[in-house]
Amino acid sequence: MGIKRLTRGAIIAALYVGLVYLLLPISFGPVQLRVAEALTVLPILYVEAIPALFVGCLLANILGGLGPWDIFGGSLVTLVAAIVTYRFRNSIIAYLSPVVLNGLLVSLYLTWITEKLPYWATALSISASEAVVVFGLGMPLIHYLRRRFPGDA
């Protein structure tokens, strides 16, 4: 991996952590709006975003206080979603993978660790917030980066 890709990956991870930390009150729980998830579409353009998102999510989830399930489970879901996003980068699946995977999988352990949340309501809530961020911020981000840095993407 070249210095440019390594640097870009570090910036992506730092941005993810910074956005979660800056918006901590709305970044965790069954009703959340994790703005940092807009970055989950970056594997469409940059393969180095895959490990960067994993590391960024891992570090951010340490801040969240939901424990090992969120730290490791949430980070692994992000990793899988990033791989799927990269693999299907020329398809709508690239945008849907973080929405669907976070909605279905993060809600699994959230309902388990809280023991009070209904699974489907949690899954719908997380999916909806993820869709707002991915399609409302992430998709425009990809379009911007493609126009602004055409040789890079």
Mean pLDDT of 114-129: 91
- The reported pLDDT for the residue numbered 118 is 92
- The reported pLDDT for the residue numbered 29 is 80
In the chain, where are the structural domains located? 3-148
DSSP state letters, 40-105: GGGGGT-TTHHHHHHHHHHHHHHHH-S-HIIIIIIHHHHHHHHHHHHHTTTSTHHHHHHHHHIIII
- The reported pLDDT for the residue numbered 153 is 64
- The reported pLDDT for the residue numbered 100 is 98
CB 50 within 8 A of CB 79: yes
| pLDDT digits 0-9 by tens, 43-90 | 999 999 999 999 999 999 998 878 898 999 999 999 999 999 999 999
Mean pLDDT of 28-55: 95
The amino acid that residue 36 corresponds to is: A
- Between 111 and 30, the more confident residue is 111
> pTM, whole model, 2 decimals?
0.93
| Residue 12, token pair as written in the block | 């992506």
Tokens 């891992």 label which residue? 58
